[in-house]
């Protein structure tokens, strides 16, 4: 199955971000990608964390392409339907009962434009090194449900896909739990890793999650200098079940990372090294 991770350098302009995202999605679909994934915060990298509250939407009905109160979800649903792709739509700020905070939510749309999955980011990033400080809990409410879904590919194979977002990558137990009843074939992890943490840990952690679960990983990321002065690491990539990097964008800026995922090879690797069957804990 051909997949695409889209890298962006999102801005405080929601309209401009959506225009860029739609252009990259169209390019990926034209190249044959069945699944296309956007990065975390693709819709907005504001000047402050509070900016997310101003654009937050209520969750639209799963079978409706959106309403006047959910224009971002409408655009995403229609884009997936237009190109006949599975779209893992990065993250959007979705309203919560707590008016002071929002969920950081990944929505997945099928080729018919229906919403097929929703995941609210569970682990909220916090970092301080004396010069920079980030605390997502100030504006985000943590989710609590693990989410995986089935994708029937065009070749007839079924892919079991687990969802995570950015900081979730540091918690291997999340992905172990996702694959407990049925092994994952692919982890999709939209991210906006800081340049500091990304240089040290991004590729290392992505490859580790692939090796531990003997599955593919697709990680679309923010990559560049944003209006707030924050620099994100980028390096959007696809990783194979043996931990090998299948494709990566090593320079900053927007773009499409395409990779061919091999379900048959994954099955062969699991047969040769049946580590998932040897788990005790």
Catalytic residues: 40, 121, 166
**In sequence order, what DSSP letters do the residues of 72-138 get, joined into one string?**
HHHHHHHHHHHHT-EEE---EEEE-SSTT-EEEEEEEE-TTS-EEEEEE--SPPEEE-SS-EEEGGG
CB 226 within 8 A of CB 194: no
What token pair was written down for 110? 């099928």
Say how far residue 279 (Cα) sits from the centre of its chain: 27
Q: How many CB atoms lie within 10 A of CB 23?
A: 13
Computed on alpha carbons and rounded to an integer, the radius of gyration of the chain in Å comes to 17
What token pair was written down for 257? 């990372």
Identify the DSSP state of 48: S
Question: Rounded distance, CA 59 to CA 224, Å?
Answer: 30
Pairing of β 92-95 and β 231-233: unpaired
What token pair was written down for 118? 């929703």
């Amino acid at each position: 199955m051909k997949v695409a991770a889209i890298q962006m350098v999102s801005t405080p302009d929601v309209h401009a971000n959506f225009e860029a995202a739609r252009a990259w999605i169209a390019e990926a679909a034209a190249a044959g990608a069945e699944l296309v994934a956007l990065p975390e915060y693709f819709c907005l990298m504001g000047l402050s964390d509070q900016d997310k509250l101003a654009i937050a939407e209520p969750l639209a009905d799963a079978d409706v392409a959106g309403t006047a109160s959910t224009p971002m979800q409408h655009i995403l649903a229609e884009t997936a339907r237009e190109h006949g792709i599975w779209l893992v739509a990065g993250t959007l700020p979705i309203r919560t009962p707590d008016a002071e905070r929002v969920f950081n939510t990944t929505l997945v749309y099928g080729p018919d434009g229906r919403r097929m999955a929703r995941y609210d980011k569970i682990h909220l990033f916090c970092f301080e090194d004396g010069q920079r400080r980030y605390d997502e809990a100030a504006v985000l409410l943590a989710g609590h449900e693990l989410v995986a879904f089935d994708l029937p590919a065009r070749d007839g194979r079924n892919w079991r896909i687990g969802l995570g977002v950015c900081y979730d990558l540091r918690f291997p137990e999340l992905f172990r739990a996702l694959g407990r009843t049925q092994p994952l074939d692919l982890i999709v992890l939209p991210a906006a890793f800081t340049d500091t943490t990304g240089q040290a840990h991004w590729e290392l952690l992505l490859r580790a999650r692939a090796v531990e679960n003997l599955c593919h990983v697709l990680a679309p990321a923010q990559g560049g200098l944003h209006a707030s002065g924050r620099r994100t690491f980028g390096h959007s990539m696809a990783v194979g079940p043996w931990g090998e990097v299948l494709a990566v964008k090593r320079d900053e800026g927007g773009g499409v990372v395409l990779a061919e995922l091999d379900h048959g090879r994954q099955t062969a690797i699991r047969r040769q090294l049946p580590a998932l069957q040897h788990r005790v804990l």
